[in-house]
């Protein structure tokens, strides 16, 4: 497994530790500097719905990987696919 992919997996594990079962993330594809994550759960739709997907960006930054959320789309009522792009190492330190 490539180092960046391992970093993404580690960030997802941390994400799930604090957000599951309301939202659970699973890496489903990793190609080059792009990856897709499936989010499943009983999402709260009242406000800030995209925060479920943006929160993973912060987990990745904590692991030293700078990313951006490219897009997300539903698979069904309780499952979404989010696409991310790695834009570089986290230079905030």
pLDDT tens over the chain, length 93 residues? 588 999 999 999 999 999 998 899 999 999 999 999 999 998 877 777 789 999 999 999 999 999 999 999 999 888 999 999 999 875 544
**Whole-number pLDDT of residue 90:** 55
Residue 93: per-residue pLDDT? 42
Taking the domain 3-89, which CATH number applies?
3.30.980.10
| Bridge-based pairing state of the strands 79-89 and 65-76 | antiparallel
Q: How many CB atoms lie under 10 A from the CB of residue 76?
A: 7
Q: How many CB atoms lie within 10 A of CB 59?
A: 22
Instruction: Say how many residues make up the chain.
Output: 93
- pLDDT recorded at residue 1: 57
Q: Can you tell me the distance from the alpha carbon of 64 to that of 62, in angstroms, rounded to the nearest whole number?
A: 5
CA nearest to 84, candidates 67, 62, 59: 67
**pLDDT score at 28:** 98
Per-domain residue ranges for the chain?
3-89
């Amino acid at each position: 497994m490539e180092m960046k992919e391992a970093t993404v997996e580690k960030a997802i594990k941390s994400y799930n530790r604090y957000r599951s079962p309301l939202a659970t993330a699973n890496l489903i594809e990793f190609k080059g500097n792009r990856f897709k994550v499936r989010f499943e759960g009983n999402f709260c739709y009242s406000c800030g719905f995209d925060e479920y997907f943006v929160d993973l960006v912060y987990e990745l930054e904590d692991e030293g990987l700078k990313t951006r959320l490219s897009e997300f789309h539903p698979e069904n009522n309780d499952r979404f696919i989010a696409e991310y792009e790695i834009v570089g190492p986290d230079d905030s330190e």
